[in-house]
Amino acid sequence: MRDDLARRVLDKLLDWTDEESAVWVRELSTMASYKFDDYEGFSAGERFFERLARWLYQIRDPSDRRRLIEFVRHELVFISRNEMNQAISCVYPHYIKPMLAERAAHQIDVPNYIRREVVSNTAFKVLRRTTVFLGLSDGARLDRLRRSSAELSHEQFSLTSELGDHAQQSMVANLRNALDTLGAEDHEPVFETVILVDDFYGSGTSLIDKRDDGTWKGKLLRARDHIQDLASLEVPVIVENPEVIVVLYVASSQAKTHIESMLAEFQSTWTLVVIQELPEQLKVVDPELLRICDEFLDPAMVDEHKGEVPRGYMDAALPVVLFHNTPNNSISPLWADTEFEADSSGRRALFPRYERHHADRP
């Protein structure tokens, strides 16, 4: 009923022909049922068509409304839970396992293309078991990664990149038992490969960046410091110079370029793996749409963390929505919601974002 009402409102808001209405509503209905209705940032009971009608209602120029509808139909990239799960399921079998196999092949002096012989060798099994996965945020979804990596032990995963004392002792004890079972009793029970995992980056600056004074900041700085701490313990958990692989499920080409350039200075031996790269051509460049973005952003949304970002943080201008939240690297009409903010213009975003930093949550 609410969807039908929303569609009648759209008929009044949009200067469309009967033919356009039939085609556009059919397309949008398909995408709503397939993806958009599942956005986890909607309030309880809210659906896409209702949100769409309220979004367009605040746009006064009919031509701007048509442009936004065209954007949703043809340019918006909505990454669903199933699509993210697909990316996660590729991490170990298609990226990490081949990298470990290549190292094992070098150790046992067997050509890497003879994969069956390599992965059945104890050297590979030891390399695999001495690999630890650390989440850089809750978006890493290590529960899903763990279940999609059947060859790995649950004891190789930590939901955070910082291991507490109990976790350290438990992981080392279980690693010792596993190595004994593999017939590698002489191998030290320490992890040799560290996989740092996160879900999405639009600019990459919160992962690793350099301040004006030349010092580093970001999640990888904290992860490196903790890895070094774990290696310097009286009973070390990680070897002194481990192989480190940074795995991102999704990242823009802008973020990938930034992270790679920063890693070249920060830790040149670390490897970046992006499962799904969003190409540069996705970036919003249409002057008409960028103007709408500039006019949309409410000053109430500006804060010290991201500044004024009508076209997305770091001007990333992405057309991207993730099923659980919309990145602030995307254009502001998608995420910059101030409907319930005091002293605001009451902007209603299409896929409102849950902000990590907020004045009401100091």
- Kindly tell me if the per-residue pLDDT of 3 is higher than 70: no
Output the pTM of the full model: 0.93
- Kindly tell me if the per-residue pLDDT of 193 is higher than 60: yes
Name beta bridge partners: 276.
250
Tokens of 141: 């979804």
- Kindly tell me if the per-residue pLDDT of 357 is higher than 60: no
- Kindly tell me if the per-residue pLDDT of 62 is higher than 80: yes
Tell me the three state secondary structure of residue 111: coil
User: In the Cβ-directed half-sphere of 241, how many Cα atoms lie within 13 Å?
Assistant: 4
What pLDDT, on the 0 to 100 scale, is given for residue 322? 97
Tens digit of each residue's pLDDT (9 = 90 or more) over 204-244:
999 999 999 999 999 999 999 999 999 999 889 999 999 99
Contact 262, 255 (CB under 8 A): no
Question: If you average pLDDT over residues 7-12, what whole number do you get?
Answer: 80
Percent of the chain with pLDDT over 70: 97
CA-to-CA distance for 247 and 157, rounded, in angstroms?
Answer: 14
Q: Which of the residue ranges 13-27, 44-58, 214-228, 249-263 would you say has the lowest mean pLDDT? A: 13-27
First-last CA distance in the chain: 40
Q: What is the dihedral angle through the alpha carbons of 250, 252, 256, 262, rounded to the nearest 10 degrees?
A: -110
Instruction: State the helix-helix crossing angle for 62-74 and 48-57, rounded to 10 degrees.
Output: 150
Going by pLDDT thresholds of 50, 70 and 90, the confidence category of residue 355 is confident
What pLDDT, on the 0 to 100 scale, is given for residue 361? 36
Q: Which of the residue ranges 69-78, 159-168, 190-199 would you say has the lowest mean pLDDT? A: 159-168
What pLDDT, on the 0 to 100 scale, is given for residue 245? 98
145 residue type, one letter:
L
Contact 64, 56 (CB under 8 A): no
What pLDDT, on the 0 to 100 scale, is given for residue 67? 95
Tens digit of each residue's pLDDT (9 = 90 or more) over 81-132:
999 999 999 999 999 999 999 999 999 999 988 999 999 999 999 999 999 9
Tens digit of each residue's pLDDT (9 = 90 or more) over 134-188:
999 988 999 999 999 999 999 999 887 778 888 888 999 999 999 999 999 999 9
Tens digit of each residue's pLDDT (9 = 90 or more) over 277-325:
999 999 999 999 999 999 998 888 887 777 889 999 999 999 999 999 9
3-state helix, strand and coil shares in percent for the chain, rounded to the nearest 5: 50, 15, 35
- Kindly tell me if the per-residue pLDDT of 80 is higher than 70: yes
Least Cα distance to 132 among 165, 184, 98, 96 occurs for: 96
Tokens of 47: 């659906």
CA-to-CA distance for 314 and 210, rounded, in angstroms?
Answer: 14
What pLDDT, on the 0 to 100 scale, is given for residue 107? 94
